[in-house]
């Protein structure tokens, strides 16, 4: 599982335009710029508790967007698929360099094609 701060930052990247300006600024300052609640409260001239409440409410909103739209999930799945394809290409290059039987090379090509079909169908 992705660490919460990283996950919130990634969700923020996908969904920040769906947030209010104030929500964007506070989440960015807290999760991306690593400011404390007190520092953010001072900047916005509000209480530390108000900052905390806004950030927690905004995090919930980001998780709700992800539950409905699944953009981070789709991105993660596609990235993992591309990594698998790359590994199969490296294996195929190794087989070709060692003059391995064509059946082994064809098997790797089929693996790559299957992975590509899965990526394209999602």
pLDDT single digits (tens) 23-39: 999 999 999 999 999 99
Q: Cβ distance 59 to 17 under 8 Å? A: no
Given pLDDT bands bounded at 50, 70 and 90, which one contains residue 22?
Answer: very high
Tens digits of per-residue pLDDT, 65-113? Answer: 999 999 999 999 999 999 999 998 988 888 887 777 888 888 889 999 9
Give me the helices (H) in the chain, please.
Answer: 4-15, 21-27, 37-44, 48-69, 71-97, 102-121
Residue 15 has pLDDT above 60, yes or no: yes
Q: What is the pLDDT of residue 49?
A: 98
Whether this prediction's pTM lies above 0.75 is answered by yes
Residues ≥6 apart with Cβ < 8 Å to 15: 62, 65, 66, 69, 71
Secondary structure of residue 95 in the 3-state scheme: helix
**pLDDT score of 98:** 78
pLDDT digits (tens, 9 = 90+) for 31-62: 999 999 999 999 999 999 999 999 999 999 99
């Amino acid at each position: 599982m992705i660490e919460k701060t990283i996950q919130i930052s990634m969700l923020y990247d996908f969904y920040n335009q769906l947030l209010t300006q104030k929500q964007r600024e506070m989440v960015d300052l807290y999760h991306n710029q690593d400011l404390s609640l007190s520092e953010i409260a001072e900047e916005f001239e509000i209480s530390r508790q108000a900052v905390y409440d806004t950030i927690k409410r905004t995090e919930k909103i980001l998780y709700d967007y992800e539950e409905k739209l699944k953009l981070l999930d789709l991105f993660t799945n596609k990235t993992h698929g591309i990594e698998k394809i790359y590994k199969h290409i490296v294996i195929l290059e190794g087989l070709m360099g060692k003059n391995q039987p064509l059946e082994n090379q064809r098997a790797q090509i089929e693996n790559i094609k299957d992975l590509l079909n899965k990526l394209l169908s999602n």
